[in-house]
Amino acid sequence: MEKIKQELLAQKVGAVKEDEPLANHTTMKIGGPADLLVEPDSIENIKKTMDIVKKYNLPWRAIGRGSNLLVADGGISGVVIKLGKGLDHMEMNETKVTVGSGYPLIVLSTQAGRSGLKGLEFAGGIPASVGGAVYMNAGAHGSDISNILEKAHILFQDGTMEWLSKEEMDFSYRTSLLQKKRPGVVLEAVFNLEKGDRSEITEMMKKHKDYRRDTQPWDRPCAGSIFRNPLPEHAGSLIERAGLKGHQIGGAQISELHGNFIVNTGGASAEDVLALIEHAKTVIKDKFGIEMETEVEIIGRK
């Protein structure tokens, strides 16, 4: 990896760190080291990074703010590309917003609301980057990214870059083309919003924020919803009815506030979280006959 690190540094792609603990880069504060963590500071430098990944046939993974992500204790082989500074540009033109993948979704939602643009109210409590939100079709409060996306700028592993329409992104519940068929890095997104009443938008966002504060444990390290909702049921309700709220394995605990959140009480390992996930799956299957599927993305070496 030293040779590859030196090549990345020579190309001046941005910060390059070897054996970087991914616990420092996930909202759950869990995760072993990445062989190499690269933080490109421009679209051009993401392209340079991907060219080197391709040259050495390295495994790779892109991350944003590290929400909705559980990284195994063994870390991640190859190169982790972190999207942040340098990819956080944003431009509003009437009702159209063009934004870089490293831009925080909560900040974007707030700024759109202050500008009297509606459509992003649902995102005011999602601690993701724009890139991560597009990648997983993030959503809340009955809406999601697919409802507002016009197109996304994607870099694929073969080095090609394409603007894909909403239809081409092949969105479904918390998934997109990038998970299902063609792995790629989200570079930018264009959202179509609508003009609205600023006070009404602000009130709606406040309502969502209050709901999040009162019902979700974001004051503790967590990854967001652990399970997909097996509609018409809801995962949190099933877990609560099964008496699992507060159940703990090692440093990982099913939140006492919301059954579909697992919190890191301090020093939790990915193994603790995975054991708790499997326990919840078993109990829900035994009690209700329902197979639970994870929404949080689980990656890395076990």
| Amino acid at residue number 49 | T
> Has 225 been annotated as catalytic?
yes
Asked if 255 and 235 count as a contact pair (C-beta separation under 8 A), the reply is no
Of 20, 121, 188, 295, which is the active-site residue? 295
Determine whether 167 is an active site residue: no
Per the annotation, the verdict on 198 as an active-site residue is: no
- Give the separation between CA 257 and CA 271, rounded to whole angstroms: 22
Joined tokens for residue 210: 């209050």
**Catalytic residue selected from 225, 255, 269, 297:** 225
Kindly name the residue from 174, 188, 212, 297 that is annotated as catalytic. Answer: 174
CA angle 251, 27, 247 (to 5 degrees): 30
Q: What are phi and psi of 141, to 5 degrees?
A: 55, 35
- Rounded to 10°, the helix 2-10/43-55 angle is 150
In 139-213, where do the E strands start and end?
A: 139-140, 143-144, 149-156, 161-165, 184-192, 194-195
Could you list the beta-strand ranges (E) of 7-85: 14-21, 33-40, 60-63, 69-71, 76-82
Which residues pair with residue 164 across a beta bridge?
152
Beta strand pairing status for 143-144 and 161-165?
Answer: unpaired
Q: How far apart are CA 241 and CA 153, in angstroms?
A: 43
Active site members: 174, 225, 295
